[in-house]
């Protein structure tokens, strides 16, 4: 069984908060690459993002490295976005061919369950690394949902609620799938 789980969706739905809480419970979590890149660029006095194709390529390279560093884990690993998210960005700007994307998708598989974190207007805030509007967050969420479905992943929307309820939902689903499809 592939133990690498992706959390995706639009910005500002609570992905990072959920993943930080999961990490506090002892699980291995891989942070989002885009925020790391934006923080480094801002610290260097640069604009938050380079052109979309360069930004997507930088995210893809980093996400591939993170993926490769976790492939030997026998326990659940939770990714704040994954290789497919970077491929979505690159596809949107026409930076990769369909064949190139398909090759990456096959080369870097995740668990068949992808956790979609829906936009949540009541908790949505912008900051130095998140400058998208709430409407843009909704569009990214819908795009990610279609994108992962296109690549035959089962997308599961994590219900809104307090952090403990959200984590319980996630962990119970993973446990249920383990008994449904034992390794």
pLDDT score for 128: 57
pLDDT score for 179: 57
Nearest CA to 11 out of 134, 159, 158, 170 is that of 134
Q: Which residues span the domain enclosing 110? A: 4-180
pLDDT score for 129: 61
* pTM of the shown model: 0.89
pLDDT score for 181: 47
DSSP letter string over 123-172? T----SS----HHHHHHHHHHHHHHHHHTT-EEEEPPPS-HHHHHHHHHH
DSSP strand pairing (4-9 vs 28-30): unpaired
Mean pLDDT in consecutive groups of 10 residues from the start of the chain, 183 residues: 90 89 95 88 86 94 94 83 96 96 97 93 67 82 96 96 96 82 46
pLDDT score for 183: 45
pLDDT score for 46: 87
Domains contained in the chain, number: 1
CATH number at residue 112: 3.40.50.300
pLDDT score for 14: 87
Structure tokens at 88: 């979505």
Cα–Cα distance measured from residue 129 to residue 35, given in angstroms and rounded to the nearest whole number: 6
């Amino acid at each position: 069984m592939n133990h690498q789980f992706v959390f995706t969706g639009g910005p500002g739905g609570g992905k990072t908060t959920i993943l930080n809480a999961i990490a506090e419970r002892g699980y291995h979590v891989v942070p989002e690459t885009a925020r790391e890149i934006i923080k480094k660029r801002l610290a260097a006095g640069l604009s938050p993002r380079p052109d979309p194709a360069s930004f997507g390529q930088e995210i893809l390279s980093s996400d591939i490295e993170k993926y490769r560093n976790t492939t030997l884990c026998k326990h659940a690993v939770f990714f704040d976005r994954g290789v497919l998210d970077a491929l979505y960005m690159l596809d949107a700007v026409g930076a990769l061919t369909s064949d190139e994307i398909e090759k990456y998708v096959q080369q870097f598989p995740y668990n068949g369950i992808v956790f979609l974190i829906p936009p949540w207007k009541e908790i949505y805030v912008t900051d130095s690394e998140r400058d998208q509007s709430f409407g843009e967050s909704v569009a990214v969420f819908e795009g990610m949902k279609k994108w992962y479905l296109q690549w035959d992943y089962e997308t599961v929307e994590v219900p809104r609620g307090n952090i403990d309820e959200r984590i319980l939902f996630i962990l119970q689903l993973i446990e249920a799938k383990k008994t449904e499809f034992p390794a």
